[in-house]
């Protein structure tokens, strides 16, 4: 989403930006292999992204870190 907002729709804000991104996602090609849109702003393996999210949320593995439950990470923004 950040890649699209920064690169494809940098002139839009608020509801217009949200509508443009949803339209773009709904009309995208079935196979985005090799496209920058599939990479996002920091190309990494999915497991690395989820691990980073858990670290940021929990305090990067400090003693006594709570369990992090990640929900909705794979949800479709347009639905």
Question: Could you state, in order of their start, the residue ranges of all structural domains in the chain?
Answer: 2-41, 44-79
Closest CA to 70 of 43, 78, 52: 52
Q: What is the pLDDT of residues 6-48, one digit of tens each?
A: 888 999 999 999 999 999 888 887 887 777 766 665 666 777 7
Instruction: Report residue 11 CA to chain centroid gap.
Output: 20
Which contiguous run of DSSP H or E holds residue 55?
A: helix 46-58
CA–CA distance, 65 with 58 (Å, rounded to integer): 6
- Rounded to two decimals, the pTM is 0.50
Token reading at 53: 């999210």
Which phi-psi region, left, alpha or beta, contains residue 68 (left: φ > 0; alpha: ψ -120 to 50)?
A: beta
């Amino acid at each position: 989403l950040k890649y699209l907002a920064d690169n494809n729709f940098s002139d839009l804000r608020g509801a217009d930006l949200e509508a443009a991104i949803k339209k773009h996602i709904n009309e995208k090609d079935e196979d985005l292999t090799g496209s920058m849109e599939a990479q996002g702003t920091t190309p990494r393996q999915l497991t690395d992204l989820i691990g980073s999210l858990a670290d940021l949320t929990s305090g990067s593995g400090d003693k006594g870190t709570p369990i992090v439950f990640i929900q909705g990470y794979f949800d479709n923004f347009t639905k």
